[in-house]
Amino acid sequence: MSSDRRSRIETSGDSGSDTTDFVAPLNQRIRESLSRVIDPELRRPVTELDMIGAVSVDEAGAASVDLKLTIVGCPAADTIERDVRAAVAGTAGVTAVALSVGVMSREEREALTDKLRGGRPKALQFGPDSLTRIYAITSGKGGVGKSTLTANLGVALAARGLSVGIVDADVFGFSIPGLLGVAGVKPTKVGEMILPPVAHDVKVISIGMFVDGSQAVSWRGPMLHRTIQQFLTDVFFGDLDVLLIDLPPGTGDVAISLGQLLPQAEVIVVTTPQAAAAEVAERSALVARQTGQSVIGVVENMAGLVQPDGSVLELFGSGGGADAAARLSSPEAHVPLLASIPLSVALREGGDAGQPVVLSDPEDAAARVILSLADQLATRERGLAGRKLGLSPR
């Protein structure tokens, strides 16, 4: 073999080694960068969700990446594509990015939903062994501010770093989407799994997201039960620290269904200061107890209107919340008055604008009380009643 021929072979071999030494680490760095891209709906890295296919890099540092969206028309597609492209382009050594966007096959979506459920069959997400704290917000009558409290409380808990979900179980009078600024936003469906929209870091589901405009919902008991059950099985909330459930007023089908599905839920009764409202509110608490749920406290809303001189104008009377808490208490179970929320223009304006007052005006008198209530609920000790301890007799 001539010396020139031998030289060309050795040079070619060295070049291949150099290329491998360059490409393999760069490919790994790209995947590490992509592991920091979070799907805005599923709140997990796109690499963990198997949304990244082939990744290749040439000798000049030009990267090609296959991205697989969960569904056709994915509402977060633009965000995901932008973040993936930015992550790859920001990787040291990458000189150009070619992004190929496709959609998962049905089999891939089924594998994804199975992964998200942890390999468990579709079932109630918040069973007796769940570590999620569940608070059912109830009232005896409408118009006492139950939904406004639920929305603000959820946002306040999320602002403390907790993972929070809200189920708007007030099927006939849904208002949570508007209060949180997601009216008109539709959930994304991946196979049989429903992904709840996220508002102010709170995952939210409501029947209002499935009907058009001001369309009325007129359903009987079986449909109501099926809807609540679907919210708790098909909607993927992931791992939650707290789940808030905004119940309809009264003691009807939804309250009974929720008691059957989530007997471990802890109930917070909302009332206004009037004696008549407080008496009606007690009935909703008694129904909760009949289904095995525990009543942990009363919240009095519209407690008074603070005047410029600092005095309080009690438009709706006073003492109803404390009276309801006293009547619901027993030697076995004390029910405290958790909070007394004053009337607030800022609270009402925030609800109308979809901007909860705990974020838009945290110094408002009502906001301060709700924030204090959130602190109480965030630090409550978890009871063991109704939960399996994983112990067995020898």
CA-CA distance, 290 to 313, in Å (whole number)?
Answer: 37
Q: What is the pLDDT of residues 98-107, one digit of tens each?
A: 999 999 999 9
Helix (H) or strand (E) holding 193: strand 193-195
Coil, strand or helix: which one is 246?
strand
Confidence of residue 340 (pLDDT cuts 50, 70, 90): very high
Lowest mean pLDDT among 3-17, 74-88, 262-276: 3-17
* Beta-bridge partners for 165: 203, 243
Q: What is the pLDDT of residue 10?
A: 31
Tell me the whole-structure pTM to 2 decimals: 0.82
Q: What is the pLDDT of residues 316-327, one digit of tens each?
A: 888 889 999 998
Q: Which segments of 211-310 does DSSP mark as H helices, in order?
A: 221-233, 253-261, 275-290
Average pLDDT over the chain, rounded to an integer: 86
DSSP 283-338: HHHHHHHHTT-EEEEEEE-S--EE-TTS-EE-TT-S-HHHHHHHHH--SS----EE
Tell me if the domain spanning 15-116 has CATH number 3.30.300.130: yes
Token pair belonging to 244: 């808030």
Per-state percent for the chain, helix, strand, coil, to nearest 5: 40, 20, 40
Q: Which segments of the chain does DSSP mark as H helices, in order?
A: 3-34, 77-89, 106-116, 146-159, 176-179, 221-233, 253-261, 275-290, 320-328, 345-353, 357-360, 365-378
Q: How far is CA 77 from CA 40, 63, 199, 239, in A?
A: 10, 20, 18, 24
Largest alpha-carbon pair distance within the chain?
107
Q: What is the pLDDT of residues 16-56, one digit of tens each?
A: 455 666 688 899 999 999 999 999 888 899 999 999 999 99
CA-CA distance, 76 to 222, in Å (whole number)?
Answer: 34
Query: Domain 133-378: what homologous superfamily?
Result: P-loop containing nucleotide triphosphate hydrolases (3.40.50.300)
Average of per-residue pLDDT across 207-234: 82
Domain boundaries, given as residue ranges, for the chain: 15-116, 133-378
Average of per-residue pLDDT across 388-394: 49
Q: How far is CA 198 from CA 122, 154, 159, 164, 242, in A?
A: 22, 12, 13, 10, 15
CA-CA distance, 326 to 257, in Å (whole number)?
Answer: 27
Q: What is the pLDDT of residue 6?
A: 33
Average of per-residue pLDDT across 229-248: 92
Q: What is the pLDDT of residue 19?
A: 60
To 5 degrees, how large is the angle CA 206–CA 212–CA 218?
Answer: 70
Q: What is the pLDDT of residues 125-184, one digit of tens each?
A: 888 888 999 999 998 888 899 999 999 999 999 999 999 999 999 888 899 999 999 998
